[in-house]
């Protein structure tokens, strides 16, 4: 077992502490700094701090330290090399190349800088410069300059250069856009910072109709090229052709931020802003169920842009819905049918046309539209409920139709219902008929009264519009309801000479 320290040990330790404290007090009094404290003032250099930040992935902080290191020692090649590394991490290839040029001026034999330079030149698609740099590395010798290392890289750059030349030929002269794309895809993968390759590929994608893919290249070009007003204009026009008015508006605003007097950008801005406003206002009216006022807004949008097919397809379902919901059924059927020639499986358009067919009492056609929509969405409860209702209305139409009894359409207002009832009730009142016609008049009068009862009551009318006759004895018996209001006997005395008098209020 270890022996505990003796009393003398503690006395010695305390004395050392006392003398040390006295020493520090004297040093402070006479303004002296001990060697230990002086060593603490040796802070890490800006270069060392930059390397530490770089290792942690704090690129911006590292870059600031490298700036300071170069300000202190402009001829420190390692500070320039490290800053080039930071620039590369931020995707600033041109700035990195400038630092590497300084490094190679200060240290021409620094092979790592040349290798890094080859990588950057390749990303920019500067194949000839890259080959020259590789040849310099080869002359420098060593493992990095051996033929086994250099020759395959030179051959790779030569192949990339040949592909670039061939792709340009296919695009410009042969108009073989797909062939050009087959070469440009691997080219851009190897040279992501080359703006020319992306420009050609974007144009080729537009030619073959792959607009969404073209958008990606155009977006990259707005980052690769500074103050790229033409790029933002081209991107905005592309979004416009795709029917994306919101995105088109956002990109054209970026163009005007760079140049507020740009004529083409300003002209397009005015047009897309007007169209965007019209479409948004129309959608807001749809959200408010204000379908009648929605139609002129959509017509204005089509007038603003009558040629771009994407906007026609965007407006068509909205206009079809507004026409159908506003009870302009005949116009809705015509417009929706035209829209379905272009978008045959559009569920919303099929539903809205089916609803218009129901208003026009073309039940078989409504059923057909619902069945077509269900093929693509069998689990939709909305579609299945619509089909069920259409079938019920078809079945109902073969029985008693209260709208037909009053000579009205399903869109009839309450005032129209009352007016039709008064007219027909007066015409077919049994007291106005004699002999064999009286029995027929009584039957018609009962039907007219029943139609009035159902269509004047919002709840009963809704049931009837959904394919259920609230006065049908069989239906009501199965659902626990009431039958015909005159079932079991007519409430009035129509015998000639009776005391009943029927009065009409107009």
Question: pLDDT value at position 424?
Answer: 83
The residue among 95, 102, 98, 51 whose CA lies nearest residue 75 is 102
Residue 20 to residue 41: CA distance in whole angstroms: 21
Q: Is the dihedral of CA 168, 169, 172, 174 positive or negative?
A: negative
Same domain assignment for residues 75 and 20? no
Same domain assignment for residues 429 and 303? no
Same domain assignment for residues 301 and 236? yes
Asked if the structure places residue 167 within a domain, the reply is no
Residue 102 near residue 80, CB atoms below 8 Å: yes
- Name the residue range of residue 78's domain: 46-162
Residue 173 DSSP symbol: I
Give the DSSP letter string of 12-67: HHHHHHHHHHHHHHHHHHTT---HHHHHHT-PPPHHHHHHHHHHHT-HHHHHHHHH
Same domain assignment for residues 94 and 74? yes
Please name the helix (run of DSSP H) or strand (run of DSSP E) that holds residue 312, with its range, or none: helix 309-325
- The pLDDT tens digits of the residues spanning 371-402 come to 999 999 999 999 999 999 999 888 877 777 78
Same domain assignment for residues 74 and 59? yes
Q: CA neighbours within 13 Å on the CB side: how many for 220?
A: 19
Question: pLDDT value at position 38?
Answer: 40
Question: pLDDT value at position 454?
Answer: 83
Question: pLDDT value at position 427?
Answer: 80
Q: Residue 170 contacts by C-beta under 8 Å, 6 or more apart in sequence?
A: 176, 177, 179, 180, 183
Residue 206 near residue 214, CB atoms below 8 Å: yes
- The pLDDT tens digits of the residues spanning 94-134 come to 999 999 999 999 999 899 999 999 999 999 999 999 999 99
Residue 378 phi, psi dihedral angles, 5° rounding:
-65, -25
**CB atoms closer than 10 angstroms to residue 499:** 6
Three-class secondary structure of residue 112 per DSSP: helix
Domain count, the chain: 4
Same domain assignment for residues 364 and 424? no
Asked if the structure places residue 321 within a domain, the reply is yes
Asked if the structure places residue 170 within a domain, the reply is no
Cα distance between the two ends of the chain: 123
Asked if the structure places residue 327 within a domain, the reply is yes
Q: Which residue intervals of 142-262 are DSSP H helices?
A: 147-169, 177-190, 195-207, 211-224, 229-241, 245-258
| Confidence (pTM) | 0.69
Asked if the structure places residue 97 within a domain, the reply is yes
Question: pLDDT value at position 147?
Answer: 80
Q: What would you measure as the largest C-alpha separation in the chain, in angstroms?
A: 145
Residue 404 to residue 56: CA distance in whole angstroms: 82
Q: What is the CATH number of the domain that holds 109?
A: 1.25.40.10
Residue 471 near residue 453, CB atoms below 8 Å: yes
CA distances from 174 to 124, 168, 179, 209, 328 (A): 26, 9, 9, 18, 53
Same domain assignment for residues 260 and 302? yes
Residue 87 to residue 62: CA distance in whole angstroms: 10
Same domain assignment for residues 422 and 344? no
Three-class secondary structure of residue 4 per DSSP: coil
CA distances from 377 to 344, 382, 383 (A): 14, 10, 8
Please compute Rg for the chain using Cα positions: 43
Give the DSSP letter string of 357-385: HHHTT-HHHHHHHHHHHHHH-TT-HHHHH
Extended beta strands in 446-498, E state: none
Q: What is the CATH number of the domain that holds 422?
A: 1.10.287.110
Same domain assignment for residues 310 and 255? yes
State how far Cα 176 lies from the chain centre: 31
Asked if the structure places residue 251 within a domain, the reply is yes
Q: CA neighbours within 13 Å on the CB side: how many for 224?
A: 18
Residue by residue, pLDDT tens for the chain (506 residues) are: 334 444 343 333 333 333 334 333 333 443 444 444 444 457 889 999 999 999 999 999 999 999 999 999 999 999 999 999 999 999 999 999 999 999 999 999 899 999 999 999 999 999 999 999 999 998 877 676 688 889 999 999 999 999 999 999 999 999 999 999 999 999 999 999 999 999 999 999 999 999 999 999 999 999 999 899 999 999 999 999 999 999 999 999 999 999 999 999 999 999 999 999 999 999 999 999 999 999 999 999 999 999 999 999 999 999 999 999 998 999 999 999 999 999 998 999 999 999 999 999 899 999 999 999 999 999 999 999 999 999 988 887 777 778 888 888 878 888 888 888 888 888 878 777 776 677 777 777 887 888 888 888 888 888 888 777 787 766 655 555 444 444 444 444 443 333 334 444 43
Asked if the structure places residue 406 within a domain, the reply is no
Asked if the structure places residue 491 within a domain, the reply is no
Same domain assignment for residues 467 and 376? no
Same domain assignment for residues 78 and 136? yes
Query: Of 333, 365, 397, which one is at a domain's C-terminal end?
Result: 397
Same domain assignment for residues 36 and 50? no
């Amino acid at each position: 077992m270890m022996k505990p320290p003796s009393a003398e040990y503690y006395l010695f330790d305390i004395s050392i502490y006392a003398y040390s404290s006295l020493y520090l007090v004297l040093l402070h009094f006479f303004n002296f700094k001990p060697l230990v404290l002086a060593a603490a003032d040796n802070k890490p250099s800006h270069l060392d701090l930059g390397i530490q930040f770089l290792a942690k992935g704090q690129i911006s902080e590292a870059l600031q330290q490298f700036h300071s290191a170069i300000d202190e020692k402009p001829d420190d090649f390692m500070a320039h090399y490290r800053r080039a590394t930071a620039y590369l991490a931020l995707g600033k290839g041109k700035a990195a190349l400038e630092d590497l040029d300084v490094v190679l001026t200060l240290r021409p034999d620094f092979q790592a800088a040349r290798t890094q330079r080859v990588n950057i030149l390749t990303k920019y698609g500067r194949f000839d410069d890259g080959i020259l740099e590789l040849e310099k590395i080869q002359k420098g010798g060593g493992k990095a300059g051996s033929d086994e290392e250099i020759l395959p890289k030179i051959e790779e750059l030569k192949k990339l250069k040949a592909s670039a030349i061939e792709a340009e030929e296919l695009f410009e002269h042969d108009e073989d856009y797909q062939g050009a794309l087959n070469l440009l895809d691997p080219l851009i993968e190897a040279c992501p910072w080359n703006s020319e390759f992306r420009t050609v590929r974007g144009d080729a994608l537009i030619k073959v109709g792959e607009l969404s893919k073209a958008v990606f290249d155009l977006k990259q070009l707005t980052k690769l090229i500074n103050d790229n007003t033409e790029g933002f204009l081209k991107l905005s026009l592309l979004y416009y052709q795709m029917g994306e008015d919101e995105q088109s508006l956002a990109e054209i605003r970026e163009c005007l931020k760079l140049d507020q007097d740009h004529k083409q950008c300003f002209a397009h801005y005015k047009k897309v802003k007007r169209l965007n406003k019209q479409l948004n206002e129309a959608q807001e009216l749809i959200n408010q169920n204000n379908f009648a006022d929605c139609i002129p807004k959509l017509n204005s949008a089509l007038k603003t842009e009558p040629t771009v097919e994407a906007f026609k397809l965007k407006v068509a379902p909205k206009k079809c819905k507004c026409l159908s919901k506003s009870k302009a059924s005949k116009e809705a059927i015509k417009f929706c049918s035209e829209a379905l020639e272009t978008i045959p499986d559009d569920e919303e358009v099929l539903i809205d046309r089916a609803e218009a067919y129901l208003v026009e009492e073309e039940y078989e056609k409504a059923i057909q539209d619902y069945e077509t929509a269900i093929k693509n969405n069998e689990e939709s409860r909305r579609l299945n409920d619509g089909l069920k209702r259409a079938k019920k209305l078809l079945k109902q139409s073969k029985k008693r139709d209260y709208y037909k009894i009053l000579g009205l359409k399903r869109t009839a207002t309450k005032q129209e219902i009352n007016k039709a009832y008064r007219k027909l009730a007066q015409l077919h009142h049994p007291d106005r008929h004699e002999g064999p016609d009286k029995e027929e008049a009584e039957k018609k009068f009962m039907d007219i009264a029943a139609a009035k009862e159902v269509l004047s009551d919002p709840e009963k009318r809704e049931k009837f519009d959904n394919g259920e006759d609230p006065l049908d004895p069989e239906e009501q018996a199965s659902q626990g309801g009431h039958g015909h209001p005159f079932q079991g006997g007519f409430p009035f005395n129509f015998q000639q000479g009776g005391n009943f008098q029927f009065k009409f209020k107009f």
